[in-house]
Chain A
Amino acid sequence: MNIIGFVLFFFPGALVADPNFYTNSAKVLSFAENLEAEGDWYRAITEYKRYVHLEGEPQDDIHYRISRLYTKLKRFGNALDALLVIENKENGRYCYSVGQVYFLAGDYTNAKAYWRSDTLLGWIHLREGNYQQASQLLNITHYPKQKKSWLGGTLSALIPGSGRVYAGRAADGISAFALTLGTGLSSYYCFKQERYAPAYLFALLCAGFYLGDIYGSVISVRQYNEIQEEKYVSEIEITLGLRRQLW
């Protein structure tokens, strides 16, 4: 009696556990699917691998699932490894899946080798910034709003801060103008009063702020363009429903 009590107290699972659970491939598969649905992707991968091992036969569909989960986990090398063992490589699904892993990994050159449809190739061109080719393949009529970085730099060279205003950052422009003007005027008045040490110091600072503003204006315009491009690509992807084609 004591022994039974001991077993029940310390090993209550002994009453309900199925001793054949880990050898029953159907249950393992069901468990893996549940883990995947819960978002526990690492353990789901393990259980899918266990299923493949138990079945002992090529399981292409399961390898696609494993690859998909590795892709979601951003482990693209593992995702490609999972696809390598697939037996039937002569179908569209295989090419699409490999292309997708490369695409999501940002390797657009290799993605192009596997993706064949115009829409997908257009999408790659869109991500690469080749808007001309993308517009031909995706039937897009407009391009992202772009500003000229050289114009931003030139404006700042003429009037400090104006390049940043051109880039849409008026507060930075006003700050740059005030600092350049302030140090410049300070230098001027110090020279006028023949106080050369502070005069040269302010002149150096003024030159630094002036050149820094030109540099900053060019960078600000580039950043503006970068953000506009991201918005544009995102808008196109949503409009054409491209993201729905991914895992």
Chain B
Amino acid sequence: MLIAYLVAQGVDLPVHPTPLSEIHVERRMRDEVIGPFVPIAVLISGYRAVLSSQQGDVCNFSPSCSEYGYNAINKYGVTGLLMTFDRLERCHSHAWRYRNIYYYEQTDERGKVKLHDPPEPDTVSDL
């Protein structure tokens, strides 16, 4: 009904409208990040869109460092920023030594085995 009304009014409708789910995700990402952390969130989003997508899935952890950083900063602010740097320092090939001690293995949606390390401060992840 609404579409028919808009067409009758001469409004140009997009041929391939953006799915509602995508609009929701974009809005949510923009709304969640607060004040001084917006530039960092934009940098992380840019990294994810431009570099990370070309580099492939190379992170040892699940969620990946960029996703971890984005969520940690959203959730914990300054502490989240420290958590992100801490995570970057922990993300190396020898991190697998701490499997079943500090992290447990998790298979992601692509079937790759990762070390589970959610953005929660001060906890050993549900071992």
| B91 CB, nearest partner CB in chain A, Å | 8
Q: Are B94 and A211 in contact (CB under 8 A)?
A: no
**The stretch of B5-13, B22-30, B45-53, B96-104 that contacts the partner chain:** B96-104
Q: Are B89 and A213 in contact (CB under 8 A)?
A: yes
B83 within 8 A of A: yes
Best-buried of B82, B85, B92 by chain A (most CB within 10 Å): B85
Chain B residues with CB under 8 Å of A175's CB are: 89-90, 92, 94
Closest 10 CB pairs of A and B: A212-B85, A216-B86, A171-B94, A215-B82, A176-B89, A212-B86, A208-B85, A175-B92, A223-B124, A212-B82
Residue interface mask B89-117, A partner, CB < 8 A = 1? 11010110110011000000000000000
A222 within 8 A of B: yes
| B68 CB, nearest partner CB in chain A, Å | 12
A55 within 8 A of B: no
Q: Which B residues have a C-beta under 8 Å from some C-beta of A?
A: 79, 81-86, 88-90, 92, 94-95, 97-98, 101-102, 121-124
| B58 CB, nearest partner CB in chain A, Å | 16
| A166 CB, nearest partner CB in chain B, Å | 15
A179 within 8 A of B: yes
Q: Are A179 and B89 in contact (CB under 8 A)?
A: yes
Q: Are B90 and A209 in contact (CB under 8 A)?
A: no
A185 within 8 A of B: no
Chain B residues with CB under 8 Å of A172's CB are: 89-90, 92, 95
- Chain A interface SS verdict (over half): helix
Chain B residues with CB under 8 Å of A50's CB are: none
Q: Are A216 and B89 in contact (CB under 8 A)?
A: yes
Chain B residues with CB under 8 Å of A227's CB are: 101-102, 124
Contact sample, A vs B, 20 pairs, CB 8 Å cutoff = A169-B102, A171-B95, A171-B97, A172-B90, A175-B89, A175-B90, A175-B92, A179-B88, A179-B89, A211-B82, A212-B82, A212-B84, A213-B86, A213-B89, A215-B79, A215-B82, A219-B121, A223-B102, A223-B122, A227-B101
Q: Are B86 and A215 in contact (CB under 8 A)?
A: yes
Residue interface mask A126-158, B partner, CB < 8 A = 1? 000000000000000000000000000000000
